[in-house]
Amino acid sequence: MHLVFTKGAGKHDRMAVVRAGVPQAAIGCPKQGIIPHDMVHYAVEVTLHARGFIARVAAGEEAVFQMVPEAQSDGVERLVEVLQADGWSGWTGAPQDLLDLYHVTCEARGCPPLAIGIGDVEAVRGRVLELTARWASTPVGASLALPFPDA
């Protein structure tokens, strides 16, 4: 499976889920000043080998805005939120602070956190920053295709 992110000219980008070269689903991604939300998911899920939104879609679930709650997937979503907040702040948060915020966020939302440490946060941020550079060099109307392991 591949995720194909296409940079839009307006308020949205697009993500297409492509299997065997055939688009299966397309999702609008509201622009947020950093890489698309689902690209942050990609970074978290690929780097940590965690089951979140994209892994669930790869396993056959429908790509919808709100999925049925699932412990690991919910933990991934909380980490994506923390990383987005870090991005909106210029990627300046200390890894320990991000990890602490992640645990507070999980506790507040009543979901178990992923078993991650500072090294994991640094690895995911590194992947996000690499994707940020690639996305920044992608012109409007062009696409960035990212492979995702099949479930």
Domain ranges of the chain: 2-137
- Comparing C-alpha atoms, which of 88, 82, 89 is closest to residue 124? 82
Does the model's pTM come out above 0.85?
A: yes
Tell me, what's the pLDDT at 151? 59
Spatial separation of the C-alpha atoms in residues 110 and 10, rounded to whole Å: 36
pLDDT tens digits, 64-123 = 667 777 889 999 999 999 999 999 999 999 999 999 999 999 999 999 999 999 999 999
Cα(97)–Cα(139) distance, integer angstroms: 34
